[in-house]
């Protein structure tokens, strides 16, 4: 079966996750993490990709990146994964692929979700029970943020809207919000797809007009957007309708 083309982000922002094949460890020693981060820095610079956030776990890693001219991150990821695989297989005398299938990615189209993903990535070691404070973890960009040292990462405009203390407090704050992760298999639709599908059924209206629809009509819109893999968070953002109301009407 042919692979489905990836959805392109209108903002050029992506949250990317990749896991070791059969859940095997990608980073056995500190030296491995150091080498991976070196590759990340060099290849991102060469490809014109901005790395805004990263976290290396035992058997997977998270990246928050921005591509130039809203391009796909495919070439960047291909180069990164191949270079590290060659290093890893040579060092540990193994053959074959290192990663589980293709990397997973989700598009980030607004500042609020950008900050959600930013915190989610840096809190991954806390979620896994490795540390209690995300700034105690050695192999994430939290260390760069705390030290004001941009070795790999670029501080985004979204983060510059708040003070460093506010950003640190935000990252330390516990949250149950979900983002794409190694256990997910969902490909969410882009905002462009959501708007196009809605317009095909409701010509002359925009998604924000759904606020004024009758409940049954709202439910039809929600089901339509669900059918193309829009998330509840995305539907809420595009329609201006709180997630609680979306959940209640969808279940009715």
Work out the angle at residue 214's Cα, subtended by the Cα atoms of residues 209 and 220, and round it to the nearest 5 degrees. 80
For residues 126 and 230, state if they share a domain: no
Q: Are 66 and 155 in contact (CB under 8 A)?
A: no
Answer yes or no: are the C-beta atoms of 229 and 106 closer than 8 Å: no
pLDDT in tens, 86-129: 999 999 898 889 998 788 888 888 888 888 899 999 999 998 88
Could you tell me the pLDDT band of residue 85, with boundaries at 50, 70 and 90? Answer: very high
Q: Which of 37-46, 105-114, 133-142, 160-169 has the lowest mean pLDDT?
A: 160-169
- For residues 86 and 168, state if they share a domain: yes
The reported pLDDT for the residue numbered 79 is: 96
Residue 66 lies in a domain: yes
What are the tens digits of pLDDT across the range 203-215?
A: 888 999 999 999 9
The confidence band for 158, taking pLDDT boundaries of 50, 70 and 90, is: low
* pTM score, whole prediction: 0.71
User: Which domain CATH number covers 25?
Assistant: 3.30.70.1290
Q: Is residue 75 part of a domain?
A: yes
Query: Is the CB of residue 207 less than 8 Å from the CB of residue 237?
Result: no
List the domain range (segments joined by +) for residue 237: 191-251
């Amino acid at each position: 079966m042919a692979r489905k083309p990836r959805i392109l982000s209108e903002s050029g922002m992506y949250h990317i996750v990749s896991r070791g094949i059969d859940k095997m460890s990608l980073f056995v020693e500190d030296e491995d993490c150091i080498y991976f981060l070196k590759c990340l820095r060099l290849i991102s610079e060469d490809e014109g990709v901005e790395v805004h956030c990263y976290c290396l776990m035992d058997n997977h890693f998270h990246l928050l990146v921005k591509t130039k001219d809203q391009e796909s991150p495919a070439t960047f990821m291909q180069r990164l994964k191949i270079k590290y695989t060659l290093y890893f297989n040579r060092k540990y005398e193994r053959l074959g692929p290192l990663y589980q299938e293709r990397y997973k990615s989700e598009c980030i189209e607004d500042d609020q979700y950008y900050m959600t993903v930013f915190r989610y990535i840096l809190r991954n070691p806390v979620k896994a029970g490795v540390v209690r404070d995300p700034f105690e973890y050695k192999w994430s960009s939290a260390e760069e943020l705390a030290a004001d040292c941009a070795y790999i990462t670029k501080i985004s405009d979204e983060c510059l809207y708040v003070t460093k203390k506010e950003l640190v407090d935000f990252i330390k704050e516990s949250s149950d919000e979900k983002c794409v992760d190694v256990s997910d298999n969902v490909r969410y639709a882009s905002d462009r797809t959501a708007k196009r599908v809605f317009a095909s059924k409701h010509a002359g209206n925009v998604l924000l007009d759904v606020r004024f629809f009758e409940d049954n009509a709202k439910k039809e819109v929600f089901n339509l957007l669900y059918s193309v893999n829009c998330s509840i968070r995305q539907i809420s953002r595009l329609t201006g309708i709180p997630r609680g109301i979306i959940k209640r009407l969808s279940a009715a």
